[in-house]
Chains A and B, each alone.
Chain A
Amino acid sequence: MTRALRKSRLLALAVLALLLLAALPLLAGCGSDAEDGEAAEEPQEQSIARDQLIVATTTSLNDSGLFEDVVLPAYAEIAPDVTVKVIAVGSGEAIAMAERGEVDVLTVHSPAAEQEFMDAGYGTLRLQFAYNYFIIVGPESDPAGVADTATAAESFAAIAGSGAVFVSRGDESGTHSKELKIWEGAGREPSGDWYLSTGQGMGDTLRIASEKEGYTLTDTGTYLAQRDTLDLVPLSPESADLQNTYSVILLDQNRHTAINAAAAERLAQYLVSKQGQEALATYGEEEFGEPLFRPYAETLGSY
């Protein structure tokens, strides 16, 4: 008798479960319909309201915390009605996104690609606002003798001839294109067993270099932030061929009407303003003992 009771209860449960299962697609269907509707409307709303600024920036700039700690709080005071969304990708992808009109403003560090972008007419204004130096890091034993070289080209030539491993970003980022330019200057072909191309970001590439006891080219910020967990030391001289310049690029609203050009302009204005330049000149000092960026105005002789 209890058994029969249990059986019927089980049956009831099973029926209930089946009913729920049958109802699920209906529920899910409603949900996704509503979402589709929203997704379709959103871009239009944005282009009318212009209350959003999408910044495509390089990973190195974003990972340093400069945007989060300095630029965004300052921008919130300048333009409290604008919500800023920062998308951190390699310079190559950032520029590709800008060409497709998916972002409102670019802050990148890939001069050659930037020039191409401007020549093709996608951008309306390109302003350099910060610079620093790339560094070549490697194992403390320094088998290639990088510490004794005077320029990055010499350093790379020394590495290529030493049999030591070089780990490359290989991701078409600003750092990667800088690296390729240095190889060009060194007159060496970066290929072979000793040349490892990761296709990943700076952090991952640094870790791989550390594991493989190899050399790599890195931006200062990412290296300083991670140096405690890496068996890598900075070895390069502060030579001109390692200079790393960051630019802000305004985009042509005539090409993609959704671009929020007004908000972008206010960001660029802040970055090159006295206030912005002074803020970035000291950024990182507290945490790393040295500033991560130098104001570009410094190279012009005055603010």
Chain B
Amino acid sequence: MQLIWEGFVEALRLLLGGDAALYQIALRSLWVSGLALTVALVLGIPLGGTVALTSFPGRRLIVTIINTGMAAPPVVVGLLVALFLTRNGPLGQFRLLYSNWAMVIAQVIIALPIVTGLSLAALQQLDVGLRQQIAALGANRLQAFFYQLREIRVALLAAVMAAFGGIISEVGASIMVGGNIRGYSRVLTTATVMETGRGNFDIAIALSVILMLLAFFVNAILTQIQQRERPR
């Protein structure tokens, strides 16, 4: 019990003292996951829309694969990405393994099915009548798509939160493809694992507190946007 208490005290001291290394790690976590999330949104929403609004042979299989992807274990993603990026691997010439880019790639792969699957589900839930109405009003396909996205914005923001939560808190893939290199590819989760391994519980707690605060603020902002137009 004393260990936990001392940890929290030390955590507060580190946080308020503005420990430069700690904030550098937090910022790195934020930009790696932020970039991965952006890429996942840019790719995932159109992908989800295409699968939701069109019909083609094998569609159900694709949806099953996307939904399975939502449950893909990050360590499996990490292993695959590592095998592809290793110097002797198929993408070895880019020398990306053990870098921030490798972490971004792994996190995109983790977040993409979440964004795709959840936006797909939300779009499919929309009333068919609405779609016909939009078409009747003379909207082209792109306009119609954006209109429908507006309609599902609450669900879309939920998808954003789920995806962000999934990757900012992810450790298995990040440590495998990022390498937890100090001042270079060390992020909040990998640093927490490392400090716990070293027995530095105080720093590990400080890192956890930052991680939770980060998640809280990002989600607070997204929730604010999501709940703005709540029907009364």
Is there a chain B Cβ closer than 8 Å to A16's Cβ? no
Is there a chain B Cβ closer than 8 Å to A97's Cβ? yes
Is there a chain A Cβ closer than 8 Å to B184's Cβ? yes
Interchain CB contact (< 8 A) of B197 among A90, A196, A197, A210: A90
| B-contact bits for A185-205, CB 8 A (1 contact / 0 none) | 000000000001111100010
Is there a chain A Cβ closer than 8 Å to B164's Cβ? no
Chain B residues whose CB sits within 8 angstroms of the CB of A170 once the complex forms? 182
A196 touches B182 (CB 8 A): yes
B194 touches A96 (CB 8 A): no
Interchain CB contact (< 8 A) of A231 among B87, B181, B184, B199: B87
Is there a chain B Cβ closer than 8 Å to A212's Cβ? yes
Least Cβ–Cβ distance between B166 and chain A, in angstroms? 23
B199 touches A208 (CB 8 A): no
Is there a chain B Cβ closer than 8 Å to A242's Cβ? no
Q: Which of B75-119 contact A (CB under 8 A)?
A: 86-87, 95, 97-98
Is there a chain B Cβ closer than 8 Å to A89's Cβ? yes
Bound complex: CA A266 to CA B207 (Å): 41
B198 touches A200 (CB 8 A): no
Least Cβ–Cβ distance between A54 and chain B, in angstroms? 16
A96 touches B197 (CB 8 A): no
- The chain A residue sitting closest to B183, CB to CB, is A197
Is there a chain B Cβ closer than 8 Å to A142's Cβ? no
Interchain CB contact (< 8 A) of A200 among B95, B180, B184: B180
Bound complex: CA A200 to CA B197 (Å): 9
Bound complex: CA A171 to CA B184 (Å): 16
A-B CB proximity, top 8 nearest: A96-B199, A197-B182, A199-B194, A93-B199, A196-B181, A208-B179, A199-B180, A211-B97
30 interchain pairs, CB-CB under 8 A:
A89-B197, A90-B197, A92-B198, A92-B199, A93-B198, A96-B199, A171-B197, A196-B179, A196-B182, A196-B184, A197-B182, A197-B183, A198-B180, A198-B181, A198-B182, A199-B180, A199-B182, A199-B186, A199-B190, A199-B191, A199-B198, A200-B175, A200-B179, A208-B98, A211-B86, A211-B87, A211-B95, A211-B97, A211-B98, A231-B87
Chain A residues whose CB sits within 8 angstroms of the CB of B199 once the complex forms? 92-93, 96-97
Bound complex: CA A195 to CA B180 (Å): 13
Least Cβ–Cβ distance between A127 and chain B, in angstroms? 24
